[in-house]
Structure 1
Amino acid sequence: MRIAAIDQGTTSTRVLVVDEHGGADIARAIRHHTYHPHPGWVEQSAEELLSNMSACVETAGNVDAMGIDNQGESCLAWDAKTGEALSPVIAWQDNRTEVELNRLRADGAQSLTLERAGLPIDPYFSASKLAWLLKHNRKVRNARKRGTLRLGTTDAYFLDRLTGHFATDTTTASRTSLMNLQTGQWDDALCKLFDVPVECLPEIRSTVGDFGQIGNVPVTASVVDQQAALYGHGCRKSGDAKITFGTGAFALTLTGEHIVRVPDQGLVPTVAWRIGDKITYALEGGVYDASAAVEWGGRLGLFEDLAEISAFESPAAIASGLVFVPALSGLACPHWDRTAGAMWIGMRASTSRQDMCQAMLEGVAMCAAQVMHAMSRHVDMASHISVDGGLARNTYFAHFLADVLGTSVRTQRFHELTSFGCAALAALGYGVQLQERRNPSIIFKPRQPTETIAAWHNTFSQAIQRSRGWR
């Protein structure tokens, strides 16, 4: 038996092929372009993504079933009859709708989104992006008049074009701000609030189930990439947690059958997965810029190779008062402040590029620690946190993260946990259980005294306050 998982992420599309013994190999990975036509706008080509998806499907070869994971909040409009993409993909980092959303917040609308969707009003989520397309894109408006408009997240577009099924899954729908978190269905009041026609949205299906066929291969799972990673990490019990350090950093902690609502802490309840009629929930918190911030530092010329910033001879940069706030796209949980600006603070004439790189890594870890500390006040957390993604392979970063979290951090030697989780869910849909991978891990334990870490968190919080409201 062979199962393929298509991981359509923020920067690339890749296909993992696994077998019933847990063997897993990336068969192909294709990077795609991201465009920034205006400040705050982040777009991708729908046709380029679809072409890369098709190439990965072809490379997978003879498989028994397939799963697809997606970017989550990224969305677009397309025509039901022709399949033509009527807009670019508006990516999850895009914040073009911030001004309009400020008006909704001022009108008190956030109480409705928190009650129904469990989400704050923020351009991160799909609803305001879809509304923007209806308001500003002539092709979209014309398609609506013709009755051929389809709106949705990228998974619905891929499934519609590749399988003929206009559908999304519960995890992805939960990221739109249009789905009722308790019922798992589109919410009329939320659709009316954002002025998104519910008749143009895809059917919501269980994460594991029938999503049609690509050729003769059944698509048996569709899921958000971060939820796929949660499953791939082996998280199954309430309190199990993972952080994926990709373009952004995304932390998820399982809460089981319970929806944990703590909007004052900036945490977001979400769907981990829906298998059959059972919805499993999670608590989510994110950092907009993780690897994206580090790659930006590389483009500035602070380093040439990631190996240069995996170890430092000097003590932590924050210990000497040098702090980096990775708010290139603003601050997500627990602040939800798009007006925050990225910054280094505390530089001296003696500050070197190495010092700035060290602070850059520490800033991402400190933001992730703020998220996890907020979660730990509301969920009985497991004894360790499992991490993956590019930054998780950086030794200095992993050690520092364990210090500021105050708990053990487990990194995996097999890094394709998002794809593996997607494949495992697809295997369930095919009626088999994938064998758990024997994945050797490295455990990083806290080394610093609690008083030192408390002082670092206080210093970082002061820097955060200085970054807020800057834009």
Structure 2
Amino acid sequence: MPSVAASEISSVDSLDFDKVDMSSLDQHAHAHTFVGAIDQGTTSSRFLIFNSKGEVVVTHQLEFKQIYPQPGWHEHDPYELVSSVETCINGAVHQFESQGHSKADIKAVGITNQRETTLVWDARTGEPLYNAIVWTDTRSAELVRTLKRRLGSNGVTELCGLPLSTYPSGAKLLWLLQNVPAVQKAYEEGNLAFGTVDTWLVYKLNGGPRKNVFVTDPSNASRTLFMNIHTLEYDEQLLDFLRLDRKKVQLPKIVQSSHETAYGKLESTALKGIRITGCLGDQSAALVGQKGFTPGLAKNTYGTGCFLLYNCGPKPVISKNGLLTTVAFDFGPGKRMYALEGSIAVAGSSVKFLVENFGFIQGSSEISALAETVDDNGGCCFVTAFSGLFAPYWVDDARGTIFGITAYTQRGHIARATLEATCFQTKAILNAMEKDSGVAMTELAVDGGMCNSDLTMQTQADLIGMPVNRPGMRETTALGAAIAAGLAVGVWESFDDLKSVNLEGRTIFKPLIGKEDAEARFGRWEKAVQMSKGWLA
């Protein structure tokens, strides 16, 4: 039984167990129970501490450098990924203790992370052999075209749930093997370690090669091209197709997303000795944070990119309409769920583009105000294909194009068209999900930075013709990591314990235009998509 404060029980000898309300003691204990969450994203790292009600107690965030060596290339410094996380842990714990809490009450830590971003390091020393290649990076485009012509390419998606594209980690690893001598050397000598960001963080936070905690979870492993989506094990047929020798590249062990011991303990920071007990790729974490535990529930996260996940149940559904099949989460027997996913490469980053490249506004938070200076998009349509188009189109050679510009066009029209681009792509993904699943959704749960814009969420509801449900507490990605960690150590015993988490302050946006109007607008978007193709040909 959890310990009870001495102020509540003066003497164990005088305790009458027949008269004690055990549930009230449990509630008291849980009031002093907290879970930490590392949220390592594309542009920043954060550490959040949640209480047992799923409320954010403190948070600390740190942006880090984005490296763009060439057009279409996007990298991160592997050391900075780790150091930024450590700084955020220390900063959040300092705030936590300054509020009068004890770090001893933090029962576990979960991790959520940018997914396909690829790292390689020397398995003997733990030293990285190249910068992390970020999920948005398109340098492997020519290599992917070669793979698509290779015998057996038609069977890849059926095995791993992913199409051949620049998006998954596998293409990035092949590029490294072909172009970076240090990576080639480590591979030939059998010392090459591969991992996504979750694996790298767990490995380094556990002390690196000394402890050698070298693991990943299925929601991350399902983004690599290496894992069989049906068995949750590395697939020899896939590795053979990619011409990778398992004896020469070390792949992390795939373990449950929620596990009491598999992810080790923090070896440094203010939380040294605290166990890491949960791990989920960021979009899976957001689905968990939105409590999408059962089939038929869906969420859309409007972050740097935009990601819509639909819980399709305990068996994978292989899409026929341009979607990905991914592992939603694996919390043990009977608690493994799959998802159909639609990925949009550019969402919040398009707003950042207006700030940094065009100077339309001073900060991203001003985008809605600028868009509201006009009544509509003025005939403009902005296909934000900065690095090609992802789901459901999968067009690597598309590029960002703005159609319909006239002498009448103002900054507000471009701002509105920028916000609409994400909403249109979301509608395209929902249409594909309905075709694959055979079931039409009735509501869309949303989170992420762009959902702070009431205009964007109303536009989304108008275009998809269904209510958009926005929670009051929108840190659902980090909450998902905390839930995964908390379930492993008994902070929450079951999904039922989470029913009351994060219910307050929700806003429901209902459609305000008719279906015919929505379809006409979408038709113009689809025409623009077709016209944006072929710019790299």
Which interval holds the TM-score relative to the shorter structure? over 0.9
Change (3 A) 1:136 1:12: same
How far off is 1:60 after superposition? 4.5
With the length of structure 1 as denominator, give the TM-score of the two structures. 0.96
Residue 406 of structure 2: aligned partner:
348
Instruction: Show the 5 A alignment for 1:190-339.
Output: 190-199=238-247, 200-209=250-259, 210-214=262-266, 215-263=272-320, 265-278=321-334, 279-299=336-356, 300-305=358-363, 306-310=365-369, 312-317=372-377, 320-339=378-397
Instruction: Show the 5 A alignment for 1:33-432.
Output: 33-61=65-93, 62=103, 63-163=106-206, 164=211, 165-199=213-247, 200-209=250-259, 210-214=262-266, 215-263=272-320, 265-278=321-334, 279-299=336-356, 300-305=358-363, 306-310=365-369, 312-317=372-377, 320-379=378-437, 380-432=439-491
Which structure would you say has the larger Rg? 2
Q: Assess if the C-alpha contact under 8 Å between 1:13 and 1:49 holds in 2.
A: yes
Higher mean Cα deviation, 449-458 or 426-435? 426-435
Q: Assess if the C-alpha contact under 8 Å between 2:354 and 2:360 holds in 1.
A: yes
What amino acid maps onto 1:206 in structure 2?
A: Q
3-state SS of 2:277 partner: strand
Counterparts of 1:368 and 1:326 in 2: how far apart (Å)?
13
Counterparts of 1:54 and 1:427 in 2: how far apart (Å)?
21
How far off is 1:201 after superposition? 0.6
With the length of structure 2 as denominator, give the TM-score of the two structures. 0.84
Q: Assess if the C-alpha contact under 8 Å between 2:351 and 2:367 holds in 1.
A: no
3-state SS of 1:47 partner: helix
Change (3 A) 1:60 1:212: farther
Q: Assess if the C-alpha contact under 8 Å between 1:309 and 1:354 holds in 2.
A: no
* Pick aligned residue for 1:458 from 516, 520, 523: 523
Counterparts of 1:30 and 1:196 in 2: how far apart (Å)?
36
Higher mean Cα deviation, 154-163 or 400-409? 154-163
How far off is 1:195 after superposition? 2.8
Higher mean Cα deviation, 412-421 or 271-280? 271-280
Instruction: Show the 5 A alignment for 1:14-29.
Output: 14-29=46-61
Instruction: Give the percent of matched residue pairs that are identical in Structure 1 and Structure 2.
Output: 33
- In terms of fraction of residues, the more strand-rich structure is 1
How far off is 1:108 after superposition? 4.7
Q: Assess if the C-alpha contact under 8 Å between 2:143 and 2:175 holds in 1.
A: no
Q: List alignment gaps of at least 5 residues for structure 2.
A: 1-32, 94-102, 267-271
Change (3 A) 1:152 1:22: closer
Counterparts of 2:77 and 2:122 in 1: how far apart (Å)?
15
Counterparts of 2:504 and 2:76 in 1: how far apart (Å)?
34
Counterparts of 2:171 and 2:54 in 1: how far apart (Å)?
41
Q: Assess if the C-alpha contact under 8 Å between 2:434 and 2:441 holds in 1.
A: no
How far off is 1:308 after superposition? 5.0
How far off is 1:106 after superposition? 1.9
Q: List alignment gaps of at least 5 residues for structure 1.
A: none
3-state SS of 2:275 partner: strand
Counterparts of 2:490 and 2:411 in 1: how far apart (Å)?
53
